[in-house]
Amino acid sequence: MQALAETNTSQTQMSANTVVRFHRLLIVEGASGIYYVMRWGGKSQLATRKQGLAAIWALKAGQSVGEVQRALAPPGKTISIHRLLEALLSAGLIRSIDGVPVSGGKWHLFATARCLFRIHVVPHCLALICKCPIPAQRWARCALASVRDFRSLRRRAHTADENILSSNLAVPKCFRSGYLYHLVWNIADTETIFASRPAQAKEWLDEHVDWTGQENLDFARSFGRGLICAGFHFSATRLVAPLLVSRGLPLNLTATSSPTVCPVEACRWHEEFCSVSCPDARFKHIYSVDFSSVKGLLAALARNEAVLTFPDMHTINPNSDEVTRQRCAFFGITARGFKPPTVTADVAGVNARMNEFVGWLAAQSGSPVVPVILLRTSGGKFLMIIERPIIVPTNADRPERADMVNGELFRVLDRYIRAYPSQWFGWHRFHLQRTVAPAVLAVSVEGSGVSG
């Protein structure tokens, strides 16, 4: 607590002339332009992009905060790196500010060993794993994820446990261990499928995924207005898109790109998967929903294509507040005037904010909405559930139609959360979506840093 107070005090005294000194840092390049900044022998790390990395190097070279901001600012504009400095302070990567110590030089044997393991051992393990058949890959990646990501996944499971305890659900026994189990296997199955050749992936998915309600896809498309597939974050969420593509759907996916996924490689994999799974299938990934992409989605629905979106988690809105605006501006995240709308819904007996986009798109296009749920069953298998379509009512104006669709959609979500609580990955972010925070909720923050 005292160290935290000292950090906050030092932060308030920072100015354009401030000079910071870092502990010894280790910087590792990840996927999709993400860099991980770690402290040798320490326990914290920070994720940033190329411009944030340039600011760190400039600060390490002895430049002041003002000099770095002027050097990195585009012509005629100004930027602020104070959000980056705040994240660096929180991660314990800064040793001193203007000569005043703000964090100690503690050395942790386990953290150093873990860092060396990730750098020198994990890449060789992955190279060997990729040569194995899919069943062996799954188990090997599960074991690797248990070691490599155990600390961060344990924090997620702890936060999920805190959140479900603050809901009105009857919490199942061993919820935290069950949640952790599904997190680890989500990583293992997702990495295995997308690291495999599309033909091998299709063969494995056909064998290990059972379907129920598949006729609802044909029924929804029979209206000739396209269909909106509303996916929920159960089990291995990223497998939903290739599974729908394998049924011949021309699919338009709206989802934020993961920092660990290369968008170009992901699109290439899905296009090849379309060619080996179904000649009529097509795939398009829309990473940023703006006015132009919404117009394209409406045109795709008019061509009787499908749109897959995940409304049970809302993403960062660059226009939400001044702090987020500064951070998003620094990392080059822009929103072209399209503000992601939210709607409140009763989920697990708690009033929470959900994404309103599905109901809005359905009201605009008249397309039916099909809830899609992928659940993990016993024996390493999955069950793909296609719910009955939610038909857009015609006896109301557009806002009322959107509310009716979303109301029914989130009732379906609530039903599955109550039936399979340990498989819904919204729990470790649920405290961010609640409209009213519980009186006492010690939520552990996952990680420390900024991302863009």
Q: Helix, strand or coil for residue 310?
A: coil
pLDDT at 119: 66
| Whole-angstrom distance, CA of residue 159 vs CA of residue 33 | 28
Q: Which residue has the tokens 């060789």?
A: 124
For residue 347, give the H/E element and its range.
strand 342-347
- The separation between CA 394 and the C-alpha centre of its own chain, rounded to angstroms, equals 35
| Whole-angstrom distance, CA of residue 249 vs CA of residue 22 | 52
Q: Across-strand partners of 28?
A: 36
Say how many residues make up the chain. 452
| Whole-angstrom distance, CA of residue 221 vs CA of residue 305 | 8
For 98-192, where are the E strands, in sequence order?
100-101
Among candidates 279, 285, 315, which has minimal Cα distance to 300?
A: 285
pLDDT at 226: 93
pLDDT at 332: 45
pTM of the model: 0.73
- In this structure, the number of other CB atoms found within 10 A of the CB of residue 49 comes to 19
Q: In sequence order, what are the residues at sequence separation of 6 or more whose Cβ sits closer than 8 angstroms to the Cβ of residue 91?
A: 37, 39, 44, 45, 46, 448, 449
SS (H, E, C) 252-296: EEECCCCCCCCHHHHHHHHHHHHHHHCCCCEEEEECCCCHHHHHH
pLDDT at 331: 44
Q: What is the pLDDT along the chain (452 residues), one digit of tens a residue?
A: 334 334 443 444 678 888 998 888 878 776 656 777 877 655 556 778 888 888 999 998 999 999 998 888 888 888 888 888 888 887 788 888 888 888 766 656 666 676 666 666 777 777 778 888 899 999 988 988 888 788 788 989 999 999 999 888 888 888 999 999 999 999 999 999 998 999 999 999 999 999 999 999 999 999 999 999 999 999 999 999 999 999 989 999 987 766 566 677 888 898 899 988 887 788 998 877 777 888 899 999 999 999 999 998 764 444 444 544 554 454 444 444 445 567 888 888 888 888 888 999 999 999 999 999 999 998 889 999 999 999 999 888 888 999 999 999 999 999 999 999 999 998 988 888 888 766 544 433 333 333 32
Among candidates 229, 220, 277, which has minimal Cα distance to 255?
A: 229
**Torsion of Cα atoms, 227 then 228 then 230 then 235, to 10°:** 60
Q: CB of 232 within 8 A of CB of 372?
A: yes
Q: CB of 163 within 8 A of CB of 409?
A: no
pLDDT at 380: 84
